[in-house]
Structures are given as structure tokens and as C-alpha cells.
Structure 1
Amino acid sequence: MDTAETDGMRAYVLHPDIQTDTDRREPEPALEEAVSLAYALPGLEVVGGEVVRLPRAHPGALFGSGKIEDLKTQLKRDEIGLVLVDGPVSPVQQRNLEKAWDVKVLDRTGLILEIFSDRARTKEGVLQVEMAHLSYQRTRLVRAWTHLERQRGGLGFIGGPGETQIEADRRAIDEQLNRLKKQLDKVVKTRELHRASRAKVPFPVVALVGYTNAGKSTLFNRLTGAEVMAKDMLFATLDPTMRQVVLPTGKKVILSDTVGFISDLPTQLVAAFRATLEEVLAADLIVHVRDISHDEAEEQAEDVEAILSDLGVDETIPVLEFWNKIDRLPADRRTTLEAQAARTDNVLAMSAWTGEGMDAVGTAIAQLADDARTRRRITVPYSDGRRRAWLHEQGVVEAESQDEAGFTLDVNWTARQEKRFRDL
């Protein structure tokens, strides 16, 4: 599905609230987020949405027959061409629902993949999206076609059945994935070279992370003077953007704006975007931007922390929390949160949109970025040339001398770099 296909198409959003799910999200905010996702796909006319409460998921069509009939009448009346289901839909369920309603059906993973396909601009982003799409299609081919017996003839009389159609299609997808992976590996190596060259510059790397639409790009633009796309829309930023910034204190840092996280992020996307998110793994400081005005601010923060953990972010990397969008809060709630932030280490209440608290933002980044690096004098034996070479590659060596014990080096490094050096 491309933008041309969705242009002018009327869409309806369903959030299945399945009672047997152990990790159910609150249905109303979940539906609101799903509708926002639908608005993020260009060309769609989102007519509305509803929560469908289910005692259990029906394996054949997700919803019960009565609900399917009710929805069929409604969808026909409203001339709906696309139904977006906020959750996983199996290939069999998708086929049965499309047949019953005579509309296109897309699940949450498929919708996010469509948005990412539309937003990717860099070569790396495009390759990653293509790989995610293929991985998604591969799993659905397998599940959808296991009941089919289409085969290609084998050689000889006793060779048994030939290659099944599902095996042939799976092999074709795997071959395409391998080609894309090789192309992506080249792009990743280029990014690694850029990262290595940045490591030689004595500027800390500060990565902005957060739930999608938390205001990262607005903060990035305010700090850098750049014009990164910043809209009140989910996944407004997809490709990573980096800029050198001079903070109000005079401190220079490299600021990285990353793709927003979201609950139930498709596993294909987590895997495909690991290379992009390695900018976070290489950061000296992580700034977690939160939309503190959101009803599910705490749940969103937990989702971000879970994804950072899945990515393998080193616990030694310091984290700043910026409670963004305080301008949207009622006066009493705002006063309470500002007082709470003031009492909590490494937390600031601010608004990237209005500029409130931005002076404190620059100071906090500069202070923690400075704190993130410490100077030490270490001795490396002559026999340990590999570790000495690693220190020079990281660009942390400020001075070096030699004596009978080996190399004496004055280093200025982060806690993460020190830990890696000890582990070499």
C-alpha cells in the first residue's frame, strides 16, 4: 500500500480490548493513540474509531460473528475502505475479515510499517524499512499458507514431493533480505566511521530519546536552530539527525535526534532499526524527553525504558529526564509537577514549544555532559598494545609518555569507555 492507494480512502479504527490479555492497556488512551497513528498515514480520511470489548480473541476472525455483522453494516454505511485494527491480526483473521467486510484490513504492525515506509528519507532508513517489511511479510506468508498444498515437481521418481510454493517464496524473501542486509552493512560501516571520527573530537554525544510525539524534534530545533520536521504527529521524525550545538554555557556537544518509541513496537522494526539506534548506544548522555501532559506519561516512560533495555543500553550512561509540555498542564497540576521535578535529581520540567525552562535545560546538559567524562592517569604495559590502540581510536588520550613500566597515558573518558577498557 502506498500513498497513492490511501489518498482519499476512508478509514475506521478498532481497538480490541481482549479480557484474557494479561498486559492489557487502558482501552480509551490506546484507541486515541491508534487514531493518531492513522492520522500519521498521509491521504487517509479517518472517520472514527471504537473500543471493541472481547471476552477472548476468536481464532478465525478475531471478533465474534455478531460484532462482525454489526460492523459490516456500519462500514458499508460510512463507505469505509480501510479498517485499522490496533493489535495483532493473524493472516487467517485478516483474510476472513476482509472477505466479510469487503474492505482492506491492516493491523498495528502493518500500519506502523506503512508510516515508516512513507517517512524514510535516508538510504539507511529506506533499507531498514524494506527489511522490516520483508520480515513481516515472511511471517505472514508462513502462517497464511501452511494449509496449502501447492508444490513444484521434484526430480526423479523417488525424490518425494518437490519444493512447496511456501518454501520457494520464503527462499525468495530470504535472498532479498540478504541483499538488503549487505547494502545496509555498507551504510552502517560508513556510519561507524563517522562515529569514530566524532569520538576523536572532544565533544560529548547527547542522544534525545522518548515516546513518539513527546517533543524531541521541537527541543532539537530549539537547541540547534535547525529545522527538523516537528509536528504534532506520531513518528514525525524517522531518520536520525545530528548537529553540533554550543550550549548557553559555551559547552559544545553533538546532539542526536532519534526515532520515537511506541508501545508494542513491531519486533521487525526494533531489529531493523538497531543500526540507527546504535547512536543511542554510543551516546555519552541520554536525554529522555517525556510528554508529561499525557494521561499515560508513566506508561510511556516504562515503554521507552524497556526498549532501551532491549537495545542493550549501558547502565553507566547517565540519563536526564525532561518533563516536556508543562504549558499544557492545568495550573495546580503544573505547580505540583514542577515542585516534584525540583526535588528529583536529573529531572527538569520545561516546554520546548514555549521555551520555558530552556536555560536550565542547557545548563543541565552541559553539567551532566561534563560529569560524564573524567580524567585519569593510567599505565598500559608494552605487551598490551591492543588496549593502547583502542584508547587512541576512542580519542580519549590527552597526553602520553613512556618508562620502564610501559605507556603512561592521561585519558579523559566516560564511565562507559572506562568500563569497556577494563573489559578488553
Structure 2
Amino acid sequence: MLVKFLPEEVRAKISAGEVIESPSDCVKELIENSLDASANRIEVEIIKGGKRYILVKDDGVGIHPEDLPRVILPFSTSKIERFEDLMSLRSYGFRGEGLHTISRVSRMLISSRFFNQETGYEMKVEEGKVVYVRERGMPVGTKVEVFDLFYNLPVRRNFLKKEDTERTRIIQLVKSYALVRPEVSFRLMSDGKEIMNLPSVKDPKERVEDIYNTRFEELLLERDGIKVRAFLSVSQKRGEIRLFINSRPVQNRELLEYIKRVVGNRRIGICFLEMPQYMLDVNVHPKKWDVRLMQVGKVKELISESIKRKAYLPSLSQEKGHYSAEPELVGIIESTIIVAKWMDSLYFIDQHLLEERINYEKGLSSERACKSAIKAGEKLSTAQANKLLKEWTKLSNPHTCPHGRPMHYRIPLKEVYKQIGREL
């Protein structure tokens, strides 16, 4: 016989490798368990990028003593009972394989005290088997410690990235959950040093600005049961896009690339989508990173409209006092940058990118729009520059070229006056 059935031990290690491929995968599963347990505070500690040691500690409801040995069994979960429950899923975990897969490829210590119990319990696990369970004093909540990830799979361990890379992945992961759950406090330690300490906040915008240390503008739009809440950085220094759907960090490439085209390459965009559970399938990726969406075109339309509605150009409804309803040409720098004063700001606009966007919105392909646009260094007359500025105010996307590059840089006049000791 050439076809053989793999032993259970081998099958378990293979399936564990599908879900847990790195220390960050391990941290993800444990953080999601903590959030599902209604934790208000989550602490993460790693050593050697998580290769040597991972700790995730929370103050959630804890694990009942009778359930403690069950949590490492395959397909053991308190989140769902039937396949139909996926249609109304609100928890992060649901497959019942997180702790099971981690226990198969590490040495693990789980300590937990259930909220209505007087004492806690500690359980040691190696290669998926319980070594012991014993009582221990501890506050309500759960602490999971993972030692020597992939110690029993040396080939898999050799494929782990460098410590710095694994550490960076975990930092970005913790940031994602901190962004989507601002009401939960997060603390991250690495090799004995505090990397992150975020107190709980009520305002999501405050959490976003705490993490990125820059100012953001909040955009809101809701229609047909779909809610878009986005935060866009005011500055144009570096680009980063994050997407969350129903409070879950996701890597849906189609939507991420679309948001990037709308926002541009040099802004930070944090987009939160809320929609009925029946409109998405979260069971399409082993690690639950991706989701399949219904009506993705409508979702794109709402994202685009929410961003363009608020935008970074002042709307004409803001006109007051000495402000002009149309941009005023201040000058042109090196036959490349159009300088315009509009409302309460100065705008520095790339003339090539501006006409490229105008051509694109008139129906040309991005390639033809680029080739037919005025080039950097090509002299413009005052009339030509004013015509471009007038067209600029009519664009559906007046911020980025068709390829996603920002078309302009904005400086509030108030900031200029402040720098020279005057008030506007």
C-alpha cells in the first residue's frame, strides 16, 4: 500500500503550522481570546521577538476550572455551536483551535481564575498534553505563557524571521487591536523594556492620535446598514492604511488598495467599517485575516464619499469674512508648484499631478492622463494656472493623482501667522 493515514500526532502538528506560523500569530490568538473574555486590560510581554517567551495577561472573566483542560482540545470553543452561528458571529475566535495549535508546538502554562471562583488554577501543557493542573492564588482573569515556540519542530523554527522582524510584527499587531478597541488598555513589554502603554479612552480619535502622535481628522458616513468611520492624518509625511471590519483587523487587498488610491501614499488612513454579519464571510482564511464581502462596490462608494465629503479642502459653505470662494493664485515655484491661497490655507500644488487628475476624471486612462498633462518645469501663464485651479475645485478627488500620489501640501494661514508672532 502506497497511501497511508498519517498518525494523529503528525496531523496535529501540520494543522498547527497552518494557524501558528510565527510568534505574532500566537500573540494574535491570545489577544483575541482576551478580548472575547471581556478584558478591560491586556498586557503582552515577549522575549527574543517572541521566539523564547510570550505572555498575554488579561483581567477578563477567566476560565472555569472544569473547562481548563478542555481549552487545549481541538475544536473546543464557547463561541459557536452550529455552523449557522457564523452568520451572527460577534466574537474574534470561533474555530476552537487557537490554544490547541499553540499547545502542540510549544511548552505552555495557562493560569486562570473564573470570575465567581475563590481561587485560580494553573495548567502546564507540553506537545498538546496536560502535565499537571493545580490551584494557585491570582486575581480574576487569565495569563497564558508560551515558551520556546516550535521547539519540537526545528525546521519550522529555522524559518522564523530575525528577532527584530518578529518584534516589529507583534508591535504592529498590538497596535491594530489597540486601534479597534480603544476602551481596552494595552501594555507591551519586549526584553524587559516597555514599548507601549496605552490607557483606555472613550474617544477612538484620541487612541488613534496617541498611537501615531499626530493629528487626525474624523470622517463619518452611514447608509443602507453600512457605517464608515475613518481617520485621516492631517500631515503628509508617511503613508499607512489600516482596515477594520466589524471590529476585526483585516487584510482585504482589494479594499486596502482602493483606500490607498483615494487617500494617497503619504497620509495615514484608518478605516473602520460596520455592516450586517450576513454581508461578510470571516471563515475564508486560516488566520481570519481576510474576509469575503457582499456588495463590495457599495462599500467602496461609501468609503470614497466619506473621504471626499470632508476632505482636506475647505468647502464653499465655510466662506466668510474676507475669504474668497475660489482659490487665489499666489505664484508658481520653479515652473512646477502652483501656490494658491484658498479660504484659511495656503496650498502648494504639483501642476503636472493636478492636470493629470483633471484629465483622468474627464475619462482618459491613467497612462494617457499622465502623458497629456503639463510637465514639471513647463511654464504656465497666469490664465492657465487660474484655469487649473478652477478645475481643481470641481474634482471628485482633489487630493491625489490617479496613481495615489498627493497633489498638494497645505499650510493653514493661522500656522504661518503663529510662526511669525502674529494672529490671524
TM bin (shorter chain): under 0.3
TM-score by length of 2: 0.21
TM-score by length of 1: 0.21
- Answer 1 or 2: which has greater helix percent: 1
- Answer 1 or 2: which has greater strand percent: 2
